[in-house]
Chain A
C-alpha cells in the first residue's frame, strides 16, 4: 500500500499509552490511560451485563459516578463516553427506584394542570441545583423543572432533547423529584397537545387513501427489470 509517511498522526501519548491506576467499585486496577470507563472494566476482566447499552452515548445505560485524584467532588458521566485518567475512582449507578407516573397521553384534558396530579412533588423543588450538576448531558435540569411547573412546556421540551434518561438527576434530588421523568411527560404533552398539526401530512395521508398515486404505481409495478432501471435513471 502506497502511503505518504507525512500523513501519520503519531502523537506520543497515543502511540504508547501509559498505564494508570484506577479504582473500579473499590478495587484497584491498572489500565491504559485514555480508554473509556467501559473498556477499562473489560480490560480489568470484569463482565458487564447491566450497565452497557448502545456504547454511543445515547441510551443512558452506563450512568456512572466518578471522582478524580485528590478531588472530593463526586461527578457523573456516561461510562462509554468518559476517558480514564490516573487516580480516578468510579462505580456504576445501580437502577434507581424512581416513581414513574403512568398516563394516557392523548386522553389528557389539561396537561399543564395534570402535571401536578401525576407528579405532585414537581413544585417542591428547593433549588439546590444538584440535578443540574449531576447531568452528564449538561442540561440545566433545575431550570427545566421550574419551567415545567410554570407551564413553559415548550422550553422544557427543547432543553431536554439531549436527555438520555440516565436518571442521574434523580437520586440527588432532596425533594424526591425525578426530573427526567417529569421532563419526559412534559415533552410528550408538548408534542401531543401543544404543537401545531401539520396540515401537509394529513393531505398526504388522504392522497394515499384516495389512490392519488395509483396510476403511477400501476405504471411502475408493471415494468420489467430493464424498463424499471431506465425509469429509475430518469429520477434525479
Chain B
C-alpha cells in the first residue's frame, strides 16, 4: 500500500488516543520486557573478550574483534616527536572542545587533534537538550535519582554525583560564552521534560541544542588559538617505561603520514561506536563513530566498564530510505507525541526510559503489529501531527525546525503526516573506566565523554550526554593542565603494544584485524 493509505489509521485514532493515559511499566514488567526484546540481551550477538584488561567479559562481537585487534604501528617505529605539548586532546566533539578550552585556560600548552574537522561529532546533532537541575522544584539529588533509575542502578555513584553537582556551573559557563539557551518570560532558563525524568530539567536551544553549543565551543577554540590537528586520526598511544601515557601517534588522513605528538597527558574524547553497526542496526551516529578511543585505551591497559550495553534510541527514521537511522528527536515525545502501531494503538508510555520504549517498539514489530517498508525494514508510527492538534497549529514547525527541514527535503511534512520509526543504534552506555578527574587506571591517560564508562550505568538518560561531555571534559582538562606544571615529559615508547602483541600471540589473534577502524568502509568496491 501507499504510505499515505497506511497513515490513515493514525489520523483516525488520534482523538481517541488523546484521552488515554498509558501507565509506566512496573519494575518487574519492565525487566521482563527488556530481557525479552532489548538487543543487549541477544546472547548470540555477544562473546567474551579473549585477553587484555577485560579478559572474559562479554561484549558485542564487532567490538570484541576490534579490542583484540593489532596496532598498525611496528615495534621499531620512529618516535621522534613532530609536536610537543602539555595536554593532547584527541577528538573534536563536545568533550574534546571542553577539555581543550579548560586545559588551555589553565595555562597548559594544548593540542586538539581530530580525525575529521573540529566539531564533526555526535555532539553537534544532540537535539533533545541538556539535563541540569536549575528549576526551583528540582535538585541535583533528584537528578541523581532519576539517572540512577534510568541506568538500572548500575551507575558509578561518585561520577554521577559529580556530574549533577557540576551541572549548574557548566550552564553558567556556557551562557557566559554566549550559548543561547531557551528562556522563560522572567529570564530564567526554560526547562523541558525528558524521558525517564521526574522533573522538567532539559535546557534547550530549540531543537538545535548540540549545534548551538558546538558552534560556540568551536569558535572559542579558534579564538583561543588552540593548536589544531585536523584530519589526524589517532592510531596508537605512547607510553614510558612505567606504562604511563606520554603521547600519541596519528595518521594524517591527507597524506597517510604518521605524526608523533609527545604530551604530558592525553585526553581521549573520541566518542562512541555507532558506525560499527552492532547487530546490523542502522545508526544515528556521525561518520567517525568507530570506537577508536576504546581500542587505544584498551591496548594501553585501561579497563573498560559496562561495554556490554548500548543504547538503541527508540525513534530512528525508517522512512524515507535516505533518512534510515537518522534520529527523530525524543523532544517530539516529550511534547506528547504518541507511538502508534499498525492497528492504531498506543503500546507504551512514550516518556518511559529509552531502553523500555525501544524494547516495546521491537515487541510490537516482532509480534506483527509493525509497518513494513520496501527494504524489509519494519517500524511503528510516531504521531507528529498530534503536537499541532494538541498545542495549536504551527507547534511542530516552531519547536522542531531541524526535524521539519530534514523531512521536508524528501517531500514529507511531519506536521501533517506521522513518521515511521524503529530503534537506531545511538549511544555506547559504557566505555573506559574513569575516576572523578576523568582519569583511567593508566596514569596520565584521561577519557572524557561517550568513550568513558560508568556514569550512565546500563542506560543513559536523555540529555545527560551533553552534560557528561562538559563536566568531564572540564575535569580532565583542568586535572591534566594542573599536573603538567610539576612534571617532565616522559619517554616515548610503544612497549605497551609489544606487551599486547605478546599476549595476543598467546591467545592467538586469528582475525588479523587492525584497530582502530578510523572510518567505516562504505565505499563500494567497483569493478
- What residues make up the interface of A, taking CB atoms closer than 8 Å to B? 1-4, 6-11, 14-15, 34-36, 39, 42-50, 52-59, 61, 81-83, 100, 102-106, 137-138, 157, 161-165, 184, 187-192, 195-205, 208, 213, 216-217, 220-221, 225, 228-229, 231-233, 235-236
Contacts and interface: CB of A to CB of B under 8 A. Distances in A.
A34 to B, nearest CB: 7
A191 B178 contact: yes
B33 interface: no
B217 to A, nearest CB: 11
Contact of A192 (B144, B178, B215): B178
Given A9-B2, A11-B2, A102-B225, A205 B149 contact: no
B161 A100 contact: no
A83 B410 contact: yes
B409 interface: yes
A48 B223 contact: no
Given A14-B321, A162-B402, 4 more contacts: A54-B122, A58-B124, A100-B219, A188-B178
Given A58-B210, A196-B187, A191 B523 contact: no
A184 B215 contact: yes
A181 B168 CA distance: 29
B239 interface: no
Contacts of B286: 53-56, 59
Contacts of A205: 168-169, 172
Contact of B140 (A106, A163, A208): A208
Given A7-B6, A53-B287, A102-B225, A45 B120 contact: no
Contacts of B220: 105
Interface string B311-345: 00000000111100011000000000000001000
Contacts of A232: 145, 148-149, 153
B322 A56 contact: no
A86 B237 CA distance: 47
A127 B21 CA distance: 54
B523 A195 contact: no
23 contacts: A8-B372, A9-B6, A9-B420, A14-B375, A34-B320, A34-B322, A35-B322, A46-B523, A49-B519, A53-B121, A56-B406, A58-B125, A58-B211, A81-B406, A81-B409, A100-B219, A161-B206, A187-B215, A191-B177, A191-B179, A200-B188, A201-B168, A208-B140
A216 B223 contact: no
B119 A7 contact: no
Contact of A162 (B136, B146, B179, B208): B208
Contacts of A100: 219, 222
Contacts of A195: 175, 180, 183, 187
A188 B175 contact: no
B139 A213 contact: yes
A161 B208 contact: yes
Given A1-B368, A34-B322, A198-B175, A190 B180 contact: yes
Given A53-B120, A102-B222, A190 B405 contact: no
A43 B526 CA distance: 8
Given A61-B116, A191-B180, A54 B215 contact: no
B153 A225 contact: yes
Nearest to A52: B287
B69 to A, nearest CB: 21
A190 B146 CA distance: 34
B141 interface: yes
Given A198-B189, A220-B141, A106 B168 contact: no
B247 to A, nearest CB: 24
B27 interface: yes
Nearest to A81: B409
Contact of A4 (B180, B225, B368): B368
A63 B402 CA distance: 17
B212 interface: yes
A36 B6 contact: no
A8 B136 CA distance: 49
Contacts of A105: 177-178, 220, 223
Contacts of A231: 145
Interface string B200-224: 0000011010111001101110110
Given A44-B524, A58-B210, A232-B149, A200 B189 contact: yes
A104 B225 CA distance: 11
A211 B276 CA distance: 44
Interface in B376-405: 401-402, 405
